Structure 1
């Protein structure tokens, strides 16, 4: 036979999907019904300890008036408190038997603290004045309760109000934290896209410039090779447009344009190497280890490291041998790009947070590290170590 926990798991998801107004209405109805159940109907707050009088029609109306207004406790918390407060005061003043519906007065105070937006101090002053009037009325009607009893009861009401206020502040802080989280995530995504745009544009435009220069040289010396050079420029331009369209698709985040399978991966590093070779840059590619499938952010970071290193090689060490070594381990991807004879004074870190600096940030976000420095024997070396995790 199914246990209570199974029923709870089946009911709770549906309850959470209901609107707040429906939840409040159901709660108010449940409390009203409990007020007429003999075993629990007399469990409730009492103030004044006046002699009890029999239940009549007015008593039934006051019972309903203390519970039913909870249906509007979030939409109109002030009105809810006014109705339940007056009903509670009359119920206590006439000396009717205790009722569980009196809990509605406490819950209305909590709702005012949690949901009332305007005139909060005015509402607090009116509620305090109303309670003072009730205490005086009960005393004049012959209540045996001492002053400290009324004081303690009032402190209980204040605690309910302040608890609602604390809940209001907590929700406001949660909303602010979510807003800040969205802003941080948005800023991070914008920075990532900016780095990708820099990498794509810089690499491909550099390659096209180098290829155009080579084509101009061939035009003067070997015209039959011009077609090959122009084809290389055309292929490079198409590759640049493809990657730019992908990045624009990510910005739009619509349809198939934002699919991850369009992002550059380790398997396309050979295309980068071939593109550099077509630009006249001698490049050697060495891969060790089995070609594994990694998370897309890891593969994209590795791709960008090689792309930026080759771009710098074509810009600052054109015509010098460049070696690309990739070790694909179970727990990490290790990349080393070395270039012979990089031009003197070439910047190791580009300005404006782009280039190698942006790559360092990208790799650091993946708990990896990137080192870019001149080699003692001449040339330049870029070394990246990226911890790996398998793609789910």
Structure 2
């Protein structure tokens, strides 16, 4: 027995066969319903993403609902309040919703009148200014609600406006935050006295529970306001921290650029005055000063471009990279400082932040060597691994001969101002690396940085 025979109802006659004129195969095709094998989708189902109709409809409805929510949130608060008040007013006169309205006092209900309509409007229309003047909104809505209950007007959906007004006071009241609740409490006491004088059957429990409900609604609005204010404070603090971090970053960059190049130019200019007897060496020194000044201007222009914050990508070739450390060493060597460069391993594909950190480490170390250990042998070693780039700069010197201004204090700062090495430490550690700098026991100074290849962007 075939699968079709197993599932076919015996009471239903077998479908007749007809030629397959569509496919051209000439084979018989069932004339009745066709059973699809599991896992096989029709062309229309494939075109619709394979989703059944009952699943596609809710997805489309959810998408439209999200668009509607975003459209509503983007509208100004005053406009939303007016539109909400209009809809709320229309619903207040819908008879099926009358039983949903708030009611207190249980006084006999009288027939509707023009006064009842006016009091209903008084509980609905002030909602249009609930965020702009929440206190005034509560005063009008609360008074209308109290008079509406005392006169025994028919129930109305608009009486829920009292809850809306109380929530708005808690969420949007900025002035007289303590005065408004006190005034509302006094008004409620007066309202209760009037109801009692009019013969309200409400008991003590009713008079105590109703203000608790009102206080809960007001507290919900106050909680929303508190969360909103806390979020605003958090955003302000985050903005201040971001500004401070950006200032520190730019200060580090300016220090690294200005200190290095200006120091090199000062040293070279000082040496040039003793080379008047050797025109060739004097011209070489002047050319070095000129090229150093041009490089300083180029890097300053780069920093100014960053400060402009145009949103464009950084120009290619204007950010120093470890591949140009050789040029940096050559510049320092041309200024009279004996420097040796050793590069080991193949440079990995590292990010701009890691490249700049490695370059600045060498730059600051050579600047300190020129300032505090002029004429002493300096070794620059770059070690590349697939995941790290290590930078080591060692300045030779006699034991105890390291300049005091370059030596670190116990707190990690430096007598020379400390911005250079301290800034390097912050730069490297921000990228997840390790940084050490200090005097060597045998004399001289050592700077070492271990920078992750994939750190920073």
- Give the equivalent residue in structure 2 for 1:92: 149
- Give the equivalent residue in structure 1 for 2:161: 104
The answer as to whether partners of 2:402 and 2:445 remain within 8 angstroms in 1 is: no
Q: CA deviation at 1:166?
A: 2.8
- Give the equivalent residue in structure 1 for 2:356: 300
- Give the equivalent residue in structure 1 for 2:232: 175
Q: Confirm or deny that 1:344 pairs with 2:402.
A: yes
- Give the equivalent residue in structure 2 for 1:365: 430
Q: Confirm or deny that 1:290 pairs with 2:347.
A: yes
Give the superposed CA RMSD. Answer: 2.5
> 1:186-265 to 2 correspondence within 5 Å?
186-220=243-277, 222-253=278-309, 259=314, 262-265=318-321
> 1:316-331 to 2 correspondence within 5 Å?
316-331=372-387
Tell me, what secondary structure is at the counterpart of 1:82? helix
Considering Cα pairs closer than 8 Å and 6+ residues apart, tell me whether 1 or 2 has the greater RCO: 1
Are residues 333 and 54 of structure 1, via their aligned partners in 2, closer, same or farther at CA, if it must alter by over 3 Å? Answer: farther
Offset from partner CA, 1:119-147 (integer Å, 9 cap, x none): 33332232222212221222222211102
Structure 2 stretches lacking a partner, 5+ long: 1-55, 409-413
Are residues 19 and 353 of structure 1, via their aligned partners in 2, closer, same or farther at CA, if it must alter by over 3 Å? Answer: farther
Offset from partner CA, 1:60-93 (integer Å, 9 cap, x none): 3322321222121111111111111112112212
Aligned residue pairs, count: 389
- Give the equivalent residue in structure 1 for 2:46: none
- Give the equivalent residue in structure 2 for 1:375: 440
Q: CA deviation at 1:32?
A: 2.2
Offset from partner CA, 1:1-20 (integer Å, 9 cap, x none): 54232112222222222111
Tell me, what secondary structure is at the counterpart of 1:40? helix
Quote the Cα distance in structure 2 between the aligned partners of 1:344 and 1:15.
Answer: 68
Are residues 30 and 353 of structure 1, via their aligned partners in 2, closer, same or farther at CA, if it must alter by over 3 Å? Answer: farther
Offset from partner CA, 1:194-231 (integer Å, 9 cap, x none): 222222121111211232234334323x3222212111
Quote the Cα distance in structure 2 between the aligned partners of 1:204 and 1:348.
Answer: 22
Offset from partner CA, 1:279-304 (integer Å, 9 cap, x none): 1233314153234240x433322221
Q: Confirm or deny that 1:43 pairs with 2:108.
A: no
- Give the equivalent residue in structure 2 for 1:157: 214
Offset from partner CA, 1:251-310 (integer Å, 9 cap, x none): 454586x9475443334433322321221233314153234240x433322221111111
Q: Determine which structure has more spread, i.e. the larger CA radius of gyration.
A: 2
So what's the TM-score if we normalise by structure 2?
0.77
Are residues 44 and 297 of structure 1, via their aligned partners in 2, closer, same or farther at CA, if it must alter by over 3 Å? Answer: farther
Quote the Cα distance in structure 2 between the aligned partners of 1:213 and 1:156.
Answer: 84
Quote the Cα distance in structure 2 between the aligned partners of 1:324 and 1:231.
Answer: 24
Tell me, what secondary structure is at the counterpart of 2:450? strand
Moved more, 1-10 or 194-203: 1-10
Offset from partner CA, 1:38-69 (integer Å, 9 cap, x none): 44342121101122223333323322321222
Quote the Cα distance in structure 1 between the aligned partners of 2:271 and 2:142.
Answer: 89
Tell me, what secondary structure is at the counterpart of 1:367? coil
Quote the Cα distance in structure 2 between the aligned partners of 1:335 and 1:348.
Answer: 19
Quote the Cα distance in structure 1 between the aligned partners of 2:136 and 2:102.
Answer: 21
- Give the equivalent residue in structure 2 for 1:385: 450
Partner of residue 181 from structure 2, selected from 107, 124, 143: 124
The answer as to whether partners of 1:204 and 1:240 remain within 8 angstroms in 2 is: yes
Partner of residue 355 from structure 1, selected from 420, 434, 443: 420
The answer as to whether partners of 1:276 and 1:283 remain within 8 angstroms in 2 is: no
The answer as to whether partners of 2:326 and 2:341 remain within 8 angstroms in 1 is: no
